[in-house]
Structure 1
């Protein structure tokens, strides 16, 4: 365990995370432009966005197991170079079928990065700094989407879609070169059992039976279910005069709270308790929105409460699990459950709104927050029963 934090390497790994998030988000910010590239694709264009997440649902835990076996530096650098190559291929604007295939490959690159990078950040951070460094990591999606909206989309509009893909390729390659040099000396890694399909099946059972390995992923499922779906379906329920500023402020508030109040709380409380606090306050914020539909302050309060869940969930991984291999397994489960939550949240919320009306939003999202809180309470009780030190 390191006693001093290598902040330069932590920030370099976070930068790689921005590139991984851009793999997911670059198609989202230009989605309305894709029909011009593939006019015959129709509704199938949605797969260009969702395929990366679908790979995560299927192979999230497998990625955690594989990364531990082939070693974190090697896995991360290979994934970055693979991601750069895929973006170069996409810049050539291949046929629709080939573009879909490239998104599957990109999903594999994305998974390896989001498993290896936070595992390495935990290894390179002193325990006292992990609240900050892993909360920083937790901002990678929000920051990347903001950059894509502010710079990526204008680039695509002015120079064409290939320019965005080419810029992403250059960014991924630059991250690979920086990290290849900066990650030469890493903490020693424990040996792993040989890779086999039966071993992967056993490891799945081990992860999801363990109240230590599975806890961060269990909460993350309910967080991602709510976060993405709320940001997607909320705008029509806001007053038009407040709609744009509130929707812009919500993700920024979430990031700001996680990096300030969240980091402060993590210096004083175990990460799981901060996550539970975030879920409880998020549920109360949804009750506020139920009583005052579309209230701007309630929306901002909700975003702030969710910010506590964001960083503390990643910090819980090393607090609950000792050793890089166990942390990679837990991060793989987080990736799997996060992609599942992202994928099912919006369709379920949309169906609820169509059948129940506006009350579906506080009911479904509030219920998800309470289930996230309940999952952590039950898993904490299971950890106490195991006679290990509770966290």
Structure 2
């Protein structure tokens, strides 16, 4: 019983580290209007403050599994939390735009370290049903963080300003690192061996991952999901008047979490994980179609994020379903980090540009195109798996 409680405490603590990592996006996306007011002369370039944190993950995500083994997941996680905390404390000084942009690139190192190391540790300290529950909990960290930031973070910003908000985030990241260090979680991932940082190693890692229709399927679908998740959370609430935006910003990720928890485990007893993913994308397309039939945008936004919960849960389940060995699973999770960061990096600037040129309707059409491409990619990779 004592051991079970200890493991539960550690899992929750690791999940809290994930909340800190997700807040690295949410602290810009949720108070996006307030952040934009800090740099009024930079216009659409403000979108890069949100997405550029993904740059490091987009470049090094394919190597992240090897990096984790080489450094050790516990040390890597604590490093990521401390670095992220210090960067957030620096951002509380509200530096100039280009300095803030550079700090967001550094913050990307912290983010990648956390999102790779924390689930690796979770998978090692849990077994059986406890492991499944832990990974489902982990899959909610982004949505929960955005909901908490919409409900609590915005109130902090309104009452005390962005500077206090950033400082609070930094302090909580460092506190989480300190508690994790006291826990002294030790896991054995085997001998790390020699690690190469050269271009050849990077190219070999990419070739190995993206030549496999099993390893690459979850990351490719995840790219199209992340291309719209953070960006729509940042953009859609701004289309509403008064307090409606903050309410919708909180309900959007929460709707996805609820449907993911309630529906995905049941659906996976009857459908493959890829089928669940494609169903989520297809339902998202259908819900966005209702916007052109007169359905209020508030309902469209919440409904869209509800069905995207199927994509979220199905994508994490797809990795072990499609890949038998721990090695190929690690490769697939590393590629998910890379594709997720690539989607986050591009999503907000792209959709802001489309919004400026075509309005909300044009932006929704673009999102429909992304989801059709996701379904097509999954069907093509499934055909390749059958032919192999």
TM-score by length of structure 1 reads 0.83
Task: Give the match for residue 74 of structure 1.
Answer: 75
Deviation at 1:361, TM superposition (A): 4.6
> Within 1, Cα distance between the matches of 2:374 and 2:310?
13
Contact conserved, 1:131 with 1:266, CA < 8 A, in 2?
no
> Within 2, Cα distance between the matches of 1:130 and 1:268?
21
Task: Give the match for residue 120 of structure 2.
Answer: 119
Deviation at 1:209, TM superposition (A): 1.2
Task: Give the match for residue 54 of structure 1.
Answer: 55
> Within 1, Cα distance between the matches of 2:306 and 2:30?
24
Contact conserved, 2:351 with 2:363, CA < 8 A, in 1?
yes
> Within 2, Cα distance between the matches of 1:373 and 1:185?
40
* Partner SS, residue 59 of structure 1: helix
Task: Give the match for residue 315 of structure 1.
Answer: 317
Deviation at 1:39, TM superposition (A): 7.4
Contact conserved, 2:285 with 2:371, CA < 8 A, in 1?
yes
> Within 2, Cα distance between the matches of 1:215 and 1:294?
34
Higher alpha-carbon deviation: 224-233 or 192-201 = 224-233
Contact conserved, 1:285 with 1:298, CA < 8 A, in 2?
yes
Gap change, CA 1:5 and 1:303, over 3 Å in 2:
farther
> Within 1, Cα distance between the matches of 2:297 and 2:96?
46
Unmatched segments (≥5 aa) in structure 1: 387-391
Gap change, CA 1:264 and 1:128, over 3 Å in 2:
farther
Deviation at 1:342, TM superposition (A): 2.8
- Number of equivalences: 384
Higher alpha-carbon deviation: 102-111 or 169-178 = 169-178
Task: Give the match for residue 218 of structure 1.
Answer: 220
Task: Give the match for residue 13 of structure 2.
Answer: 12
* Partner SS, residue 196 of structure 1: coil
Contact conserved, 1:48 with 1:103, CA < 8 A, in 2?
yes
The correspondence for 1:285, drawn from 284, 287, 311, is 287
Matches within 5 A, 1:192-203: 192-197=193-198, 198-203=200-205
Deviation at 1:229, TM superposition (A): 4.6
> Within 1, Cα distance between the matches of 2:271 and 2:125?
21
Deviation at 1:262, TM superposition (A): 1.9
Matches within 5 A, 1:1-391: 6-34=7-35, 45-94=46-95, 96-182=97-183, 184-189=185-190, 191-197=192-198, 198-231=200-233, 234=236, 248-266=250-268, 269-294=271-296, 299-322=301-324, 324-350=326-352, 352=354, 360-386=362-388
> Within 2, Cα distance between the matches of 1:169 and 1:253?
28
Task: Give the match for residue 389 of structure 1.
Answer: none
Deviation at 1:16, TM superposition (A): 0.4
> Within 2, Cα distance between the matches of 1:374 and 1:382?
12
* Partner SS, residue 211 of structure 1: coil
* Partner SS, residue 185 of structure 2: coil
* Partner SS, residue 185 of structure 1: coil
* Partner SS, residue 209 of structure 2: helix
> Within 2, Cα distance between the matches of 1:53 and 1:272?
25
Higher alpha-carbon deviation: 206-215 or 273-282 = 273-282
> Within 1, Cα distance between the matches of 2:37 and 2:313?
38
Contact conserved, 2:220 with 2:374, CA < 8 A, in 1?
yes
TM-score by length of structure 2 reads 0.83
Deviation at 1:127, TM superposition (A): 4.4
Higher alpha-carbon deviation: 31-40 or 158-167 = 31-40
Unmatched segments (≥5 aa) in structure 2: none
Contact conserved, 1:216 with 1:313, CA < 8 A, in 2?
yes
> Within 1, Cα distance between the matches of 2:348 and 2:10?
35
Deviation at 1:371, TM superposition (A): 2.2
> Within 2, Cα distance between the matches of 1:35 and 1:240?
18
Contact conserved, 1:80 with 1:172, CA < 8 A, in 2?
yes
Contact conserved, 2:280 with 2:311, CA < 8 A, in 1?
yes
Deviations 1:228-282 (A, max 9, x none): 4544555688899987765543322111111221233345544333223322322
Gap change, CA 1:175 and 1:344, over 3 Å in 2:
same
